[in-house]
Chain A
Amino acid sequence: MAKKMKLSDITNMFAGMDVEALEGVTIEGDIEIDLGGLGGGFDPMLAAALGQESAVLAQHFARIAGMFGYPVGFGAQAAAPAVSPALAAPKLKDIISAKFDVANIAEWTTQIQEVPIGNTSADGGSRGKQVMLGGEKALPFFFDAPMPNRNQVTIDVFDMRIGLAKAVKENYDEVMDSPGEWAKKNVEKFNADMITIHLISTDPLIKDTSPKDAAKTVEEVLQAVDVPIAIGGSGNPQKDPEVLAKAAEVAEGERCLLASASLNLDYAAIAEAALKYDHDVLSWTQLDMNAQKELNRKLMKQCNVPRDRIIMDPTTAALGYGLDYAYTNMERIRLAALMGDDELTFPMSSGTTNAWGARESWMVSSPLGQDSDWGPREYRGPIWEIVTGLSLALAGNDLFMMMHPTSVAVLKQITQTLFGSIEAEPVDIANWIGAEV
């Protein structure tokens, strides 16, 4: 409504129209007005103004009419509204049809690199299948372009018995002394797409086991399962390059994912081992997009790592403990990549297990008296891991390193639903209000 009308305008208009009676104007009760039968010659601006503020104006209208002595016809309307007999706004007469349309994002011009993990016999390895990450042309699950490869989950195995949240530990207790058995259980029982073997016993401050011992563990896992594997160090920047190099050597030709190259260790040594023995490199930085660009650049330019061997881990923080930074960091990386930043066009991996660091996932009850009851912790932990992983799936993460079997199952269910590969009986939600829940 470009123009608002004042009451004086209306009275002036009536004066100008020189009417004896307002024929076709029906006033029902004291505030209803129906302009339906007015026909040609009536000022459309008046109709518009009445539509806008029908209820109020109608009241005034009746008074004005009375004031000026115009006889106004009171009468029953043909079809009385079902509920609100006192009011029928003239504008709610008919549906105004509209077409919905929205464009795809034109700026998403660049495809994410596809990176395979695991070699089958066709490529000189012994894996039963290959896992393919990346290849996206849009944000995950967006309609702009279909996602070529689904998300993958790799379940953790440690090379020694470690402290774990109770809800996690009860699934692994009997296999924790045997990495091979542990890996088998992950694949056979818990549907892992991949295995990550963490060689944490090599840490000088833990057991200081030798790279040779670590290599043996890797061999054990490779023999126990035929899924692709990721090999993780202990996080000790001095020792990891040596440990990962030795592990890479015994896994030659299997195209494992070496985790991780970072800016604070000898990344060149890890890159060299990957190239020499046919593996991929996990490029790990800490919530810093520019550091991620720098490390990727160094891997590509200094170390000559081909693009199809780089996966990024931009760091995962748990829900409630910095997930906002981790989420936005990943989303920004993926958006920059789609818009053409070729230092960031790589698939991403998340240490989703970090969710178990959040106290909400493992503590018996809240340490703070004023909190509402936290309820049973055995149900809190898995959903904490699910929501942490799912958030990052929506930000662009491809590979999830996880621990709890329920978390793995639910994360797979939702990411594959959004990916479009889950069929389900259609649910009629029309009567959700009356449905028993």
Chain B
Amino acid sequence: MKINSPLEAYKYLPQTNCGECGEPTCMAFASKLIDRSGKTENCPPLIKEKKYAKKLAELDRLLAPEIRQVTIGVGEKAANIGGDDVLYRHKLTFFNKTKMFFDVSDNMEEAALIERVNKIADFKKFYVGRNLLLDGVAIKAASNDPAKFAAAVKKVAEIGLPMIFCSFNPAVLKAGLEVAKDKNPLLYAANKDNWKEVGELALEYKVPVVVSAFNDLDALKSLAKTFAEAGIKDIVLDPGTYPSGKGLKDTFTNFLKIRRAGIMGDTEIAYPIMALPLTAWMAGIADPVSASYWETVMASVFTIRYGDIMILHSMEPYSTLPEVHLAETIYTDPRTPVSVDGGMYKVGAPDKDSPVFFTTNFALTYYTVESDISANGIVCWLLAVDTDGIGVEAAVAGGQLTSAKVKDAFEKAGFDLKTDTNHNTLIIPGLSARLQGDLEDTLGANVKVGPMDSGRIPGWIEKNWPPKQ
């Protein structure tokens, strides 16, 4: 982004405060543009009225992210990558979570191929009110045979995930493109030997393309520049991903350098970067669990340091779970609040016989507990105690969660265990067990210690509820 204050964006807006965008003033809309929570297309007059056309074009240019955003695939599942404006997430936020593509080969048996692609498509990990997913399929032309590759592409395309076509042979890539028209796959890759032909394919089929130069940033930049001058806009960079030793250190340095240059304004290399953690499987690690761990380690390094898209191999849950969680971690908007409001929440429609739990107002803790309870059909009262947005264990250790705080939270919520329930019982988190005695004295209620992890609440309730009088 070339501007950073709402005032600078305001100059290009109609300044009529018409409110059509949903904001009370053009200045308020301008600040949304600057923090990238709003887009120019949300301002109807700017879009519709001809007299603003010049201003709109200029504003769009000024607001364009430093790193080009590239789209792979089509429709709802299309994967956007790039689009970043900062080197550190706290400076704004990172945009477009690192996309995880998993490999298949065109020489796989058809049934195995379809099974693996379905597994990629079906992966789901629930996290704070949503599902973490895998993003796409990288089809490797291991056969180097155009017909075989096209056949594999055809099968994969039916499942509807975004695709990367992996071959350095232009004839193979072309065969794939022919059977997947309008699927907008990413071509991997143009290198020093085939760039002309692959570049022509990118132009002809209007698809995004990877330029590849292993451990040679001059060559990489030259390819990107050559393509850009030829009118290819959707470029992804592959500086090579070496799996071990000095090679891996060089790769890390290359990622840092490319992204720093891009954010600092070198537009000729300001494109998304591709990492290939699956090269871990070429590093001679004999044991598959260790190889898989190393792949996840490489994926983690390049999720944090500027990889925008990666090709992975291991589909073991001990690989995919940490990988999707780390991408979510690094790309979560740090501007969203850490805490929920303190107070009494209802899960389902609780009555006087329903159990009463408390947890802290740390958003993550609260949503985890809430989803564990509601997903298992438990109807209850859930008190969020204001611990300054700190989780249970840390808040007990740090003194933000005390019996006085819990009492205070009940009072503020206007909830009295003696009159609002028939059981006068409170279930406390297992991690706050040490507060049990104190709480019984402070609240004058029965206090039961629940499980250490809210995932075990269903089993706990089955055994312990209703309480024996």
Write the residues of chain A forming the contact surface with B, with a CB cutoff of 8 angstroms. Answer: 51-53, 55, 81-84, 86-89, 91-92, 94-103, 141-143, 205, 235, 237, 262, 264, 286-287, 315, 317, 319-325, 327-328, 331-332, 335, 357, 359-360, 363, 366-376, 379-380, 382-384, 386-387, 390-391, 394, 406, 410, 413-414, 417-418, 420, 422-427, 429-430, 432-435, 437
Contact = CB atoms under 8 A, between A and B. Distances in A.
Given A368-B372, A391-B304, A320 B167 contact: no
A96 B229 CA distance: 9
A425 B364 contact: no
Given A82-B197, A425-B284, A430 B214 contact: yes
Nearest to B294: A410
Given A328-B90, A380-B321, A429-B282, A81 B142 contact: no
Contact of A433 (B141, B245, B289, B294): B141
B204 A335 contact: no
Contacts of A142: 256
Given A418-B248, A418-B301, A320 B276 contact: no
29 contacts: A55-B203, A81-B196, A83-B170, A84-B204, A92-B195, A97-B218, A98-B225, A99-B221, A101-B261, A102-B260, A264-B399, A315-B394, A319-B329, A324-B334, A327-B304, A367-B372, A370-B124, A371-B125, A372-B122, A372-B317, A375-B317, A383-B293, A383-B318, A387-B296, A394-B305, A417-B244, A425-B245, A429-B241, A435-B282
Contact of A429 (B89, B276, B390): B276
Interface of B: 88-90, 103, 122-127, 131, 140-142, 144, 166-168, 170-171, 174, 192, 195-197, 199-201, 203-204, 214, 217-218, 220-227, 229-231, 240-249, 252-253, 256-257, 260-261, 264, 266, 268-269, 276, 278-279, 281-284, 289, 293-294, 296-297, 300-301, 304-305, 313, 316-322, 325-326, 328-330, 332, 334, 338, 362, 364, 368, 371-372, 375-376, 390-391, 393-394, 397-399, 434, 453, 455-456, 458
Contacts of B247: 424, 426-427
Given A286-B394, A371-B125, A98 B244 contact: no
A176 B268 CA distance: 59
A16 to B, nearest CB: 27
Contact of A331 (B90, B144, B458): B90
A313 B293 CA distance: 27
Given A92-B230, A374-B321, A418-B252, A432 B279 contact: yes
A39 to B, nearest CB: 22
Contacts of A380: 317-318, 321
Given A91-B231, A102-B261, A264-B398, A357 B126 contact: no
B398 A96 contact: no
A375 B364 contact: no
A89 B293 contact: no
Nearest to A406: B293
Given A51-B231, A55-B203, A84-B200, A372 B123 contact: yes
Nearest to A234: B397
A89 B390 contact: no
Contacts, number: 280
B124 A375 contact: no
Contacts of A391: 300, 304, 326, 329-330
Contact of B325 (A96, A315, A320, A367): A320
Given A100-B261, A420-B246, A427-B283, A84 B90 contact: no
B458 to A, nearest CB: 7
Contacts of A205: 434
Contact of B297 (A237, A390, A423, A437): A390
A362 to B, nearest CB: 9
A427 B458 CA distance: 50
A324 B200 contact: no
Contact of A432 (B245, B276, B325): B276
Given A367-B455, A384-B322, A102 B282 contact: no
A207 to B, nearest CB: 13
Contact of B218 (A98, A141, A328, A387): A98
A142 B317 CA distance: 31
Nearest to B124: A372
A380 B125 CA distance: 14
B242 A320 contact: no
Nearest to A235: B397
Contact of B282 (A97, A367, A394, A437): A437
Contacts of A418: 248-249, 252, 301
Contacts of B125: 371-372
Given A83-B197, A391-B326, A433 B142 contact: yes
B231 A359 contact: no
B126 A83 contact: no
Nearest to B295: A437
A320 B390 contact: no
Contacts of B249: 141, 417-418, 420
A410 B391 contact: no
Nearest to A97: B222
Given A321-B364, A372-B125, 17 more contacts: A51-B229, A84-B204, A92-B226, A95-B223, A96-B225, A97-B222, A317-B394, A320-B329, A367-B375, A370-B375, A390-B297, A410-B293, A418-B301, A423-B246, A425-B245, A427-B282, A429-B276
A417 B245 contact: yes
Contacts of A51: 229-231
Nearest to B197: A83
Contacts of B398: 262, 264, 286
B329 to A, nearest CB: 5
A82 B204 CA distance: 15
A301 B305 CA distance: 37
Given A82-B170, A143-B253, A325 B338 contact: yes
Nearest to B266: A102
Nearest to B190: A92
Contacts of A321: 364, 368, 391
A422 B243 CA distance: 12
Contacts of B325: 319-320, 360, 387
Given A379-B318, A390-B301, A89 B242 contact: no
A420 B248 CA distance: 9
Contacts of A143: 253, 256-257
Nearest to B138: A433
A437 B297 CA distance: 17
B304 A89 contact: no
A340 B367 CA distance: 38
Nearest to A426: B247
B245 A84 contact: no
Nearest to A435: B282
Contact of B317 (A81, A100, A373): A373
Contacts of B103: 437
Contacts of B196: 81, 88, 92
